[in-house]
């Protein structure tokens, strides 16, 4: 892989993802809950949450993944995916600065952990969505645009 900082700068300006990326939301729910259904967030089980780790594991079998460190503007190749994943308890204690940010260079995309049991796939074309859709479906997650 090219120089760490060069790759980082392809995707980020400082801590922000570059504005030329589109968003696809990946969630345990099939769409936005809305205020009337926010209570469903309290009912999410560890098993449901675990679908995100399953998704990342499946992706790692086919594509190289890199973790992002915004503080030093670097990326690091994940060698052992299980060491890179958070447990349920760890995840429940995270603040947003600790959320997972992964680059999948082969698909020219970024996968970021967000609030409310949602990840965002940041992509520049539908190739990333098309490539990851089978993994999303296999894990029982949903994807949609805003």
Give, rounded to a whole angstrom, the gap between the first and last alpha carbons of the chain: 33
Average pLDDT over the chain, rounded to an integer:
90
pLDDT of 1 above 60: no
Residue 2: the pLDDT is: 52
Q: Average pLDDT for residues 88-99, to the nearest whole number?
A: 81
Residue 25: the pLDDT is: 96
Residue 70: the pLDDT is: 81
Query: Inter-axis angle of helices 126-138 and 46-62, to 10 degrees?
Result: 130
Percent of the chain with pLDDT over 90: 55
All structural domains of the chain with their residue ranges: 4-12+21-144
pLDDT of 131 above 70: yes
What tokens appear for 9 in the block?
């700068």
Which residue from 14, 4, 17 is spatially nearest to 112, judged by alpha carbons?
Answer: 17
pLDDT of 18 above 60: yes
Residue 141 vs residues 5, 29, 94: alpha-carbon distances, Å: 32, 7, 21
Give the DSSP letter of residue 116: S
- The per-residue b/e assignment along 23-50, b for 16 or more CB within 10 angstroms, e otherwise, is ebbbbbbeeeeeeeeeeeeeeeeeeebb
Backbone angle region of 45, left / alpha / beta, with phi > 0 → left and psi within -120 to 50 → alpha:
beta
């Amino acid at each position: 892989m090219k120089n760490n900082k060069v790759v980082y700068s392809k995707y980020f300006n400082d801590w922000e993802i570059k504005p030329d990326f589109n968003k696809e939301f990946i969630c345990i729910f099939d769409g936005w809950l809305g205020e009337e259904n926010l209570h469903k967030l309290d009912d999410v089980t560890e098993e449901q949450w675990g679908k995100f780790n399953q998704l990342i594991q499946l992706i790692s079998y086919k594509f190289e993944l890199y973790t992002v460190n915004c503080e030093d503007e670097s990326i690091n190749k994940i060698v052992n995916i299980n060491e890179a994943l958070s447990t349920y308890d760890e995840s429940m204690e995270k603040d947003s600065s600790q959320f997972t940010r992964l680059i999948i260079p082969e698909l020219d995309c970024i996968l970021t952990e967000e609030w409310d049991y949602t990840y965002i796939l940041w992509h520049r074309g539908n190739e990333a969505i098309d490539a990851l859709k089978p993994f999303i479906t296999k894990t029982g997650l949903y994807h949609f645009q805003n």
